[in-house]
């Protein structure tokens, strides 16, 4: 690592806190600078003096220390390191992180940080196995938090099972692996939402309104973003595609379902709306199959579906920093896409020609135009995987330095 990397270590309460002293030593040997926040619980097991002696830095303990606020400030402290590591991450700390609490310096810094976060859980096996802890763990993972351990083994309480803090060597190795891969993972710590596929709008229990989208482009984008380190939530309409590895997949059917799932996945750094959402639905879907009646055609009244792209683009609070829409056109591709960019108020529009002769819908290749407020870029015909790779690289470039 050419530049020295730095870690903000949050030391939670628990007998395993003593292992953090060895972790600090190992990080120092690896050329990684450590600054520490010691919680009140952590102070019961290790002292500020011992932590400070190993880090060579002031140890922070009190949110309301005027001296510390003048010298550092909890906001600056939370954002002055390349990675925030919580070890041991107690059940209490995990619960507070999952629910966004800010009751002391540690939790305030964790809520205010814009750096990636890694936790090393440690607690009694029953506490680890409790449904509440497992729910909190899944929430943290969904938020992009990295997890190391816990290990199985004997515990100080006399029980055996999962809940032991991972060994300092293992935690150090995970931190080094994170930094070693950081250059190839420019979106690490970023949360992204991708929508993909068609939506199915029910007419009755056996019929629906749909379109020809296969979902291939959206799935490829989700994979490409995940490869660059992003925590990706893929909200997919009905497809025949396998769920991408390393991606959180949410399966939906209708446009209303897709909007609800997208809103539930917020906040996010970016949202890429590659789904081909049906513009209309039947206003009142029938509860039973509509039967033929002597040649009389059913009177299907249509209603407009929610506009997911416009809804997210125009959020007054919690809007992603980058909102990308897709424009599937059959004529006047660039002109219609430019109009859509202004109408939806998104940041970029990815336009493509989906006329039957192009084979784009359902096919493996695509030719796209990337439009934003500065102009447009046309990519040559290429595979949808290559389109996704190019788009992911452009998104990473957008977030570089932010």
Query: In Å, how far from its chain's centre is CA 226?
Result: 9
Is residue 58 annotated as involved in ligand binding? no
What is the DSSP code (8-state) at residue 380? P
Is residue 32 annotated as involved in ligand binding? no
Q: Is 47 helix (H, G, I), strand (E, B) or coil?
A: coil
Is residue 129 annotated as involved in ligand binding? no
Q: How far apart are CA 14 and CA 144, in angstroms?
A: 24
Is residue 309 annotated as involved in ligand binding? yes
* Neighbouring residues of 38: CB distance < 8 A, sequence distance ≥ 6: 11, 46, 48, 51, 59, 60, 61
Is residue 24 annotated as involved in ligand binding? no
Q: Is 187 helix (H, G, I), strand (E, B) or coil?
A: coil
Q: Hey, CA dihedral for 76, 77, 82, 85, is it positive or negative?
A: negative
Torsion of CA 134, 135, 138, 140, to 10 degrees: -100
Q: Single out the catalytic residue among 20, 157, 172, 346.
A: 157
Contact 33, 85 (CB under 8 A): no
Please, where are the H alpha helices in 119-167?
125-129, 131-142
Is residue 306 annotated as involved in ligand binding? yes
Is residue 296 annotated as involved in ligand binding? no
Residue appearing with tokens 């005027």: 66
Nearest to 36 by CA among 165, 53, 102: 53
Angle 91-99/105-112 helices, nearest 10 degrees?
Answer: 40
Q: Peptide bond preceding 150: is omega within 30 degrees of 0, i.e. cis?
A: yes
Q: How far apart are CA 24 and CA 277, in angstroms?
A: 51
Note if 157 is an active site residue. Answer: yes
- Report CA Rg, the chain: 25
Nearest to 250 by CA among 136, 99, 238: 238
Q: How far apart are CA 14 and CA 196, in angstroms?
A: 44
The residues annotated with a catalytic role in the active site are 157
Please give the annotated binding residues, written as ranges: 279, 289, 306-309, 326, 340, 344
Residue numbers belonging to the annotated binding site for CTP: 279, 289, 306-309, 326, 340, 344
């Amino acid at each position: 690592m050419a530049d020295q990397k730095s870690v903000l270590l949050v030391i939670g309460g628990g007998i395993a806190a003593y292992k953090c002293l060895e972790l600090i030593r190992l990080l120092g040997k690896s050329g990684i600078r450590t600054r520490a926040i010691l919680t009140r619980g952590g102070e019961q097991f290790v002292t500020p003096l011992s932590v400070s002696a190993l880090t060579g830095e002031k140890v922070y303990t009190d949110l309301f220390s005027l001296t510390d606020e003048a010298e550092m400030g909890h906001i600056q402290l939370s954002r002055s390191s390349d990675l925030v590591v919580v070890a041991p991450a107690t059940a209490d700390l995990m619960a507070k992180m999952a629910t966004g609490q800010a009751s002391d310096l540690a939790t305030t810094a964790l809520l205010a940080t814009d750096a990636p976060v890694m936790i090393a859980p440690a607690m009694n096996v029953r506490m680890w196995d409790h449904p509440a802890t497992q729910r909190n763990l899944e929430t943290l993972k969904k938020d992009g938090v990295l997890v190391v351990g816990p290990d199985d083994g004997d515990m100080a309480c006399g029980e055996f099972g999962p809940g032991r803090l991972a060994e300092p060597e293992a935690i150090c190795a995970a931190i080094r692996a994170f930094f070693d891969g950081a250059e190839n993972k420019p979106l690490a710590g970023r949360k992204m939402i991708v929508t993909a596929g068609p939506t199915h709008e029910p007419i009755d229990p056996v019929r629906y309104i749909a379109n020809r989208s296969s979902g291939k482009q959206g799935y490829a984008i989700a994979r490409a973003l995940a490869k660059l380190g992003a925590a990706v939530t893929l909200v997919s309409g009905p497809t025949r595609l396998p769920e991408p590895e390393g991606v959180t997949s949410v399966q939906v059917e209708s446009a209303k379902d897709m909007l609800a799932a997208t809103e539930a996945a917020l906040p996010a750094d970016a949202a890429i709306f590659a789904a081909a959402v049906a513009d209309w639905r039947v206003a009142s879907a029938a509860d039973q199959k509509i039967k033929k009646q002597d040649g009389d055609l059913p009177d299907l009244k249509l209603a407009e579906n929610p506009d997911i792209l416009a809804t997210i683009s125009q959020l007054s609070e919690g809007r992603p920093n980058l909102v990308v829409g897709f424009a599937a056109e059959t004529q006047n591709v660039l002109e219609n896409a430019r109009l859509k960019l202004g109408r939806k108020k998104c940041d970029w529009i990815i336009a493509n020609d989906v006329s039957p002769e192009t084979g784009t819908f359902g096919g493996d290749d695509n030719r796209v135009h990337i439009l934003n407020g500065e102009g447009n870029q046309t990519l040559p015909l290429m595979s949808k995987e290559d389109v996704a790779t190019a788009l992911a690289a452009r998104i990473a470039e957008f977030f570089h330095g932010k």
